[in-house]
Structure 1
């Protein structure tokens, strides 16, 4: 079972690199370089001025929020001698890099871009929190920090399909993830248990596939979806925290909610109910049916207008057990295999059909919408299409996934279930 509630993923490796000078238990992730400085602490009530160019107005707003939340400062001290300066330093070597210094005269935060300045403010905030997170910070000892990320996609995944996350609650997650310098929220919008995003071309998805009763042993009604206007608003909201929004639309498996609304999407046009349990369904999108590609093309066309992020996730995992069995007997799929010259009968022929489906959809995403496709790694994927990102998620299969990425010269997102899935038992 995959993708329930939350998981953390990091593109290529772990988050930010270890320190070379000093440590501070408050800081997560630990900065690249950090050192205690000489002199008296900064008394926060002495802050009387904030220096900030217009281009950092968004970051100044976050700074004011931090001062209010952590030091109780809602009005600057007219007689204060300390000042806080936010600035851009183009000499830094990474777009998310920043420097931070604190002494009795104030705070200086410089970033190569606004994102770097924002992360400097998030580090400053962590320095202002002690064991009692609700306590007001009075003063902070002098410190200097130089920081830059080791990875550039640091992702939190949220799954509103199994248990719906209301829109306002979803927004509450963003400031918390940004505090720890996570910069991507991955929305698992589609699965066997629900379809959660409005597609105006296909209103049946909302009418038929957003409500059910039950989730495994929880016999409760679960319903809801996000409108396109909500998601456009969400993208703008996340941008204030330098967080991009990555949508996921599953294929060919984990699509029972769509098949429930459009039976013609699956082999034989079967009418199937929305699943109320986890696990894997053998009802898959049919690669031999042109309506499958028409449907997916229309879905991605609307999503490209809603989500400007350069990435889009295509799923690709757990497509039946045994793999892709419904494609073995489907007449349309038999015909497609013949047209493609696929003659093997050792089950690899069905994975070749999955590659055909992915190749078509990936080509559409690249040529029409300039998107970078992502998908979950499965050992049956013998090749990873050039330029795609694969996710190492299955317990115990991290090494094969890494090797596949190396062999295919592909980027890999590390989110191994045995370490990164918040819904797994603590044991």
Structure 2
């Protein structure tokens, strides 16, 4: 009798404790994205080499992924079995009777074992990923690995949680793409949009048109571009990457740009242009940026070519959507082209904007005939929206709102929050996290048209993998959480705290992430002149030890750049460290980071930063000064 009462009291106490901790303390687990529901008890599960992963049938793939994660992160190899074989277990199971949204899961951790259940394999994978994050956080220096007892019930907010990588302006290696997929999967992102063609290069093998990669995948020798910036993917390589991604719940969406951003194709097949060429591809900053020459919309050969290309693209990529670009298509050549003007007259079109809509609708009809759908940048709205097209809204959110109101699916990707080739001064991690993809102005049924959000990285400025990493991370974690977690999760300080706790994981991934920084000041026209002079900032509260401090100047706006000559760290008005070199902060940032080594720290001293700089080309220059923590 006493024993039964004791057990009852224990159960009641556990339930009360779980209720008190439900939805609270997500930061303790360092989880990104935050799950929908978290309940915790004051006990834990300890992993060891004796722990068995139990998984059969459909659960095996998620089990292998979990096994690999734990082995890589904790140097612990666990066996996979159909039934329990050791003193502790992790049980993964697909349970189609669960009442959960698609890709949802239930994760339960108790002292004797862990259970992950889901309605589908995707949900089971995400449950394994959450457990993998918790295992990584619970790994101790003495080799002990413990996971807090929890019950998590979780599912994604959006179906599209994406990242676009520009592989055209600068070729991205297969190795880097695989690493990117691994990183996305760990943070529950599920769409990798590859920008495969543009004015700067054609990066996908098309067997019917071999010159696209023989000529269109490398810059002319006169530009002296590194060999790593050239290249293309064979069809077999890309099929392998598609398979690799699918195993990690990531869909690869290919983008074949049209009708604009098509110079690489026109350089190979100039007869598809309005003028007949000739054309030459060029690195982004060594040419006219956006070119006037685009596919000729009055030439039937153009559509035959694109249909052939799309046939091969569709055979490689099983994605529901094929991205056809549609952005930044100058109409000047069409205005002067007899074939395009004849097409406008024959089709009863009003102008060149409607000609673009005609172009997109013809491509959409063909893609639909192959059982797929198109998605394009928001310019495809111009001249009338193609009936079944999805819109990627990048010029703010107005295009997305218009598309949603018209009944079209939308992915929000505005430059203000989602363009990660932009500097951190323009969009920092907190700003990216603040983005809400669903406009409040939409009616309920219109809000359902928002498929999700996407971060974009254009490779015309930062072109090497380590520089791409720095631009993406940690900002990409903000997009991951906004895409997965409930819209009520909005605590920026909590999120930034979890980002800080995740930095060791980014290091394990080999990511050259942006070191957390603080804004120590700004410059503006009234604080700088066109002659070299000092900019000074009190940084006493930010200096807390000897070591290396980095200072970076980031231009934000204005017609003029800032030129820097030196940066000094002053201790009680005396120079304690100095970095002398020429730097620029403007439309392009050149050598704009300064390194200061403080040999001795005085806790009673006052510390100042002194920057010798001037405004160049005029007086209108604005920007921020950042200090990277020691």
Are 1:21 and 2:19 counterparts?
Answer: no
Distance in 2 (CA, whole Å) between partners of 1:175 and 1:138 is 22
Distance in 1 (CA, whole Å) between partners of 2:407 and 2:33 is 28
Distance in 1 (CA, whole Å) between partners of 2:242 and 2:222 is 29
The 5 A counterparts of 1:295-334 are 295-320=305-330, 324-334=331-341
Match of 2:366 among 364, 370, 387: 364
Q: Residues 301 and 116 of structure 1: is their aligned pair in 2 closer, same or farther, counting only changes over 3 Å?
A: same
Are 1:270 and 2:272 counterparts?
Answer: no
Range moving further from structure 2, 28-37 or 375-384: 375-384
* Structure 2: gaps (5+ residues): 1-20, 426-630
Q: Per-residue CA shift, 1:260-291, capped at 9, x if unaligned?
A: 00001110211111032253111111100011
Distance in 2 (CA, whole Å) between partners of 1:87 and 1:275 is 52
Are 1:122 and 2:146 counterparts?
Answer: no
In the other structure, the counterpart of 1:251 is 258
Tell me, what secondary structure is at the counterpart of 1:41?
strand
Are 1:97 and 2:104 counterparts?
Answer: yes
In the other structure, the counterpart of 2:198 is 191
TM-score if structure 1 supplies the norm length? 0.87
Q: CA RMSD in A?
A: 2.4
In the other structure, the counterpart of 1:389 is 390
In the other structure, the counterpart of 1:203 is 210
How far the C-alpha of 1:76 sits from its partner, in A, is 5.3
The 5 A counterparts of 1:35-114 are 35-38=39-42, 40-45=43-48, 47-75=50-78, 80-90=86-96, 91-114=98-121
In the other structure, the counterpart of 2:478 is none
Q: Per-residue CA shift, 1:307-349, capped at 9, x if unaligned?
A: 11111000000112xxx1110010101111111123x4xxxx1
**Equivalent residues of 1:213, 1:220 under 8 A apart:** no
Q: Residues 133 and 271 of structure 1: is their aligned pair in 2 closer, same or farther, counting only changes over 3 Å?
A: farther
**Equivalent residues of 1:23, 1:30 under 8 A apart:** no
**Equivalent residues of 1:20, 1:32 under 8 A apart:** no
The count of residues paired between Structure 1 and Structure 2 equals 395
In the other structure, the counterpart of 1:8 is none
In the other structure, the counterpart of 2:423 is 425
How far the C-alpha of 1:372 sits from its partner, in A, is 1.1
**Equivalent residues of 2:357, 2:383 under 8 A apart:** no
In the other structure, the counterpart of 1:32 is 36
**Equivalent residues of 1:70, 1:135 under 8 A apart:** no
Distance in 1 (CA, whole Å) between partners of 2:333 and 2:282 is 18
* Rg comparison, structure with higher value: 2
TM-score if structure 2 supplies the norm length? 0.60
**Equivalent residues of 1:351, 1:380 under 8 A apart:** no
Tell me, what secondary structure is at the counterpart of 1:161?
coil
Tell me, what secondary structure is at the counterpart of 1:37?
strand
Match of 1:139 among 125, 146, 150: 146
* Structure 1: gaps (5+ residues): 1-18
Range moving further from structure 2, 327-336 or 166-175: 166-175
How far the C-alpha of 1:305 sits from its partner, in A, is 0.9
**Equivalent residues of 1:92, 1:111 under 8 A apart:** no
Range moving further from structure 2, 385-394 or 20-29: 20-29
Q: Per-residue CA shift, 1:13-66, capped at 9, x if unaligned?
A: xxxxxx97124221111111111124x211111753222122222111112112
Distance in 1 (CA, whole Å) between partners of 2:146 and 2:136 is 11
The 5 A counterparts of 1:372-411 are 372-378=373-379, 381-394=382-395, 397-398=396-397, 400-411=398-409
